[in-house]
Amino acid sequence: MKVGVYGLGRFGFFWSELLARKFDVSGYNRSSLAVKPSNVTLVEEDIILQSDVLFLCVSISSMEQVLKNITGRIKPGCIVFDTCSVKIYPINIMKSLLGEKVEIIGLHPMFGPDSGKDGVEDLPLVFIPVRNKLDAAEKWKKIFTDYGMRVIEITADLHDRDAAFTQGITHFIGRVLNELQLKESNISTMGYKSLLTIVEQTCNDPFQLFMDLQHYNPYTHDMRHKLNGSLKKTMAMLADADPVRDL
């Protein structure tokens, strides 16, 4: 079985190395790489599209263009997985742009190079069969389970609702705090150290991922609106209760 990873950015690089522990993995990236993922064979686009299983690891915002570009050249019978951090949007465009001859499964590994650096044991992987043979789904669920991942089958809508208020809010807080250029201090509390780690790790991810998470998940607008409301409420509460001391 030939496994291909299309896109070797921060996540694709990590994901291809993880898959290469168990499979013969090829990888394709549109631009050349300074460092290549271990045990992964770099190939041209036409070759990667001949894989039996293809993991798309491109940015959410480039999915439409990538799919339009590759749809006619993917090997018939190929199982195509996306790995986007939102699910409604990429699944809809995969359904509309990929022909009936390929199978489609939506995937969101809820981890990456930072959170998965010490292993993927017990980390959640959202798995959404879209248009596929039953045995393909069962086979791949078993593969991910064997890696130790916690495979979770939910709808794309439920994923996006939940992710907006979990992953989405974390990245949003991380980026907002990053603007403040917070620094380590010798009087840091444990809580503050955790906060700095969140800022660092969310900002390790590409800026495009942050933007796409906020734009392509239909529930993040509501999250940001509620967060803004909560900030205003807390500010107003503090102002009302201010003893207005001359400190």
By rule CB under 8 A, what string of x and - marks binding of each residue 165-204 to a copy of itself?
xxx-xxxxxxxxx-xx-xx-xxxxxxxx-xx-xx--xx--
Contact status: 216 vs a copy of itself (CB under 8 A): yes
Considering only residues 110, 130, 137, 149, which one is a binding residue for a copy of itself as defined by CB under 8 A?
110
Residues 77, 53: contact at Cβ < 8 Å? Answer: no
Residues 80, 74: contact at Cβ < 8 Å? Answer: yes
By rule CB under 8 A, what string of x and - marks binding of each residue 21-50 to a copy of itself?
------------------------------
Spatial separation of the C-alpha atoms in residues 27 and 56, rounded to whole Å: 10
Contact status: 224 vs a copy of itself (CB under 8 A): yes
Contact status: 59 vs a copy of itself (CB under 8 A): no
Stretch (H or E) spanning 209: helix 207-216
According to DSSP, the β-strands at 124-131 and 103-109 are antiparallel
Residues 211, 59: contact at Cβ < 8 Å? Answer: no
Window of 16-24, 27-35, 70-78, 231-239 that interacts with a copy of itself by CB under 8 A: 231-239
Least distance in Å: CB of 26 to a copy of itself? 28
Spatial separation of the C-alpha atoms in residues 136 and 3, rounded to whole Å: 14
The residue length of the chain stands at: 247
First to last CA, the chain: 71
According to DSSP, the β-strands at 40-42 and 79-82 are unpaired
Contact status: 122 vs a copy of itself (CB under 8 A): no
Spatial separation of the C-alpha atoms in residues 118 and 99, rounded to whole Å: 38
Least distance in Å: CB of 81 to a copy of itself? 17
Residue for token pair 């607008």: 221
Residue 71 or 201: which CB sits closer to a copy of itself? 201
List of residues contacting a copy of itself (CB under 8 A): 61, 88-89, 108, 110-111, 114-115, 123-124, 126, 150, 152, 154, 159, 162-163, 165-167, 169-177, 179-180, 182-183, 185-192, 194-195, 197-198, 201-202, 211, 214-216, 218, 224, 226-228, 230-231, 233-235, 238, 241-243, 245, 247
